[in-house]
């Protein structure tokens, strides 16, 4: 811009009543300041949300501890959850086994090792980007399948758990998790790798679901492992497409 143009530019703004001008550095300083206030705002909002979530999880755990379930008196520990509660992927299994019962954490035995290995192929790691729990919070004796009464007793807590975590993707492991949370009766062999939705009308929630084989089933039926890679690829594509991680 030449001097003549600057002069007419200033005259034009003076004619509009503008008497102060920001220099480039003043403007960028105030812009930077606004940006950092905004960033600080977002950070503290996120922190407040995370604090609220941790608090709600503590309250839920207490409620479960005080609930009535016949398994509670036989089990050594309540097995609540593991992983990153702020991640957008929630994995739900069936019920704790012997190792989980001893330690009080889900998926720490052989099935858990396989689960971690499978998920590592698609860059999922329970410490960083997924959260996991079960349909039933105590070990059924002798690792039997939980019965309907035990599932019905735990289900309202599982639904509250999902509401608190508010994931963008639910991965359900095996028949018990899929039958309890999706209104379908077909077995996992038919529905694995297909897309479903978990609906919670009361809380206006609709979450994408991918059912896959339970890792304990894969340990017992290693021939089925050949399907797992296809299902993991589907999960990976959903994560990428929806920018979930
Ligand atoms: N199987 C499950 O379904 N959950 C566990 O926590 C461990 C094994």
Q: What number is the average pLDDT over the span 16-30?
A: 47
Q: How many Å apart are CA 136 and CA 93, to the nearest integer?
A: 9
Domain boundaries defined on the chain: 3-241
- CB-based pocket (< 6 A), ligand 1: 93-97, 100, 106-107, 111-112, 134, 216
- The pLDDT of residue 183 is 84
Q: What number is the average pLDDT over the span 75-102?
A: 98
Nearest partner of 184 among 160, 205, 209, judged by Cα: 209
Residues 6+ apart with CB under 8 A from 69: 137, 138, 150, 153, 154
| 3-241: CATH topology | Uracil-DNA Glycosylase, subunit E (3.40.470)
User: For ligand 1, atom 3, which residue shows the shortest CA distance?
Assistant: 94
What is the enclosing helix (H) or strand (E) of 196? Answer: strand 196-200
Is the predicted pLDDT of residue 162 greater than 80, yes or no? Answer: yes
Strand duo 196-200 + 205-212: pairing: antiparallel
Is the predicted pLDDT of residue 113 greater than 50, yes or no? Answer: yes
Q: How many Å apart are CA 64 and CA 17, to the nearest integer?
A: 67
Q: What is the pTM of this model?
A: 0.84
Q: What number is the average pLDDT over the span 87-101?
A: 98
Ligand 1 centroid, distance to 106 Cα (angstroms): 6
Nearest atom of ligand 1 to the alpha carbon of 215: 1
Residues 6+ apart with CB under 8 A from 72: 78, 138
Ligand 1 centroid, distance to 112 Cα (angstroms): 7
């Amino acid at each position: 811009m030449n001097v003549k143009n600057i002069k007419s530019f200033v005259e034009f703004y003076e004619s509009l009543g503008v008497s102060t001008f920001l220099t480039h550095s003043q403007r960028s300083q105030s812009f930077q300041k606004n940006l950092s206030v905004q960033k600080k705002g977002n950070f503290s909002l996120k922190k407040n949300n995370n604090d609220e979530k941790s608090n709600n999880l503590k309250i839920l755990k207490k409620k479960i501890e005080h609930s009535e379930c016949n398994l509670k008196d036989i089990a050594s520990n309540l097995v609540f959850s593991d992983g990153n509660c702020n991640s957008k992927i929630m994995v739900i299994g069936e019920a704790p086994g012997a190792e989980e019962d001893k330690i009080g954490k889900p998926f720490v035995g052989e099935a858990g090792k396989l689960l971690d290995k499978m998920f590592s192929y698609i860059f999922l790691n329970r410490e960083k980007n997924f959260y996991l729990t079960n349909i039933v919070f105590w070990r059924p004796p002798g690792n039997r399948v939980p019965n309907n009464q035990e599932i019905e007793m735990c289900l309202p807590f599982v639904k509250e758990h999902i509401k608190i975590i508010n994931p963008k993707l639910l991965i359900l492991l095996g028949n018990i998790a899929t039958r309890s949370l999706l209104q379908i009766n077909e077995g996992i062999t038919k529905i694995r790798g297909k897309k479903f939705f978990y609906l919670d009308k009361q809380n206006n929630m609709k979450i994408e679901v991918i059912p896959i084989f339970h890792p304990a089933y894969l340990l017992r039926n290693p021939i089925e492992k050949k399907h797992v890679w296809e299902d993991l690829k589907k999960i990976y594509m959903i994560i990428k497409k929806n920018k979930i991680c």
